[in-house]
Amino acid sequence: MSVEVERKFLCNADTLKKLKEIGAVCVGQRQIHDQYFDTPEFHLTLRDMWLRKRKGCWELKCPTAESQSGKQGEAAAALCTRYKEITSLPEIHLRVKEVIKEDRESEAGFSQEDESWVSKLNLVCFAEFTTARRSFTLKEEGVQVDLDQADFGYHVGEIEVLVPEGGDEQAALEKIRKTAEKLGLTGDQRVKGKMDVYLKRNHPEHYAKLLSEHIL
């Protein structure tokens, strides 16, 4: 399990030029199809937990202790998000059951093919979209920049560093700060992610609930 430390930014006509100027190398382009799941009562997302299916595999993003406590430290850190990324299906199943207080023993297996556990836990798909992504790496070790174009018309960039669990998140934040500085990014407010924009446009009630709980 790793921790994803990330800062989003708005792309403009100069973004590609700036990436080239700072020595970023394009490492690929791909289409990403995501489906996000929660209960009808939003048990997961109201706890800032994001269960998704991507490329046939399940992932669960959970907030770290720092992000849950709200202790982000300096301004640069406050512009970033930090999430644990869980890809082990048995662990995902266990954590989801704990949150929605599902006590029944599930007879479903934990294979990627057998998804009967989804309906047994009353999980439904609340968001589905495809993203065209261009990825770049920098000389700064471990830094990746993604430029995303969602199929609902939102274009956003992400500076990302993956940190092993228990690793140095402060070092990751500093790498992100330096990269943002090189790209000429300004502003002291977090940029909205794809999910923020998707929910606001398509599911305003869900969006409002998350805003009221300071999740978004």
Domain CATH for 9? 2.40.320.10
Separation of alpha carbons 199 and 99, rounded Å: 22
pTM: 0.88
Let me know: does 119 contact 18? Beta carbons within 8 Å: no
Mean pLDDT of 19-37: 96
Q: Which of 29-33, 71-75, 202-206 has the lowest mean pLDDT?
A: 71-75
Q: Residue 104: pLDDT band by 50, 70, 90 thresholds?
A: very low
Determine whether 185 is exposed, middle or buried from the number of CB atoms within 10 Å of its CB (0-12, 13-18, 19+).
buried
The reported pLDDT for the residue numbered 58 is 96
Q: Which of 143, 170, 169, 139 is nearest to 157 (CA)?
A: 143
Contacts of 169 (CB under 8 A, 6+ apart): 3, 5, 64, 66, 82, 163
Phi, psi dihedrals of residue 52, rounded to the nearest 5°: -140, 160
- pLDDT value of position 140: 72
Sorting pLDDT into bands at 50, 70 and 90, what band is 161? Answer: very high
Specify whether the CB–CB gap between 50 and 60 falls below 8 A.
Answer: yes
pLDDT over 50 (residue 19)? yes
Q: What is the pLDDT of residue 76?
A: 63
pLDDT at 75: 63
Beta bridge partners of 201: none
CB 135 within 8 A of CB 28: yes
pLDDT band of residue 80 (cuts 50, 70, 90) is: very high
- Residue ranges making up the domain that contains 120: 2-212
- pLDDT band at residue 112 under the 50/70/90 scheme: low
53 has a pLDDT exceeding 70: yes
Identify the pLDDT of residue 174. 92
Number of compact structural domains in the chain? 1
pLDDT of 102 > 80? The answer is: no
Sorted by sequence, the CB contacts under 8 Å of residue 142 that are 6+ apart come out as: 161, 162, 172, 175
User: 109 or 82, which is more confident?
Assistant: 82
Q: In this predicted model, which residue has the larger pLDDT, 78 or 112? A: 78
Whether the predicted pLDDT of 103 surpasses 50? no
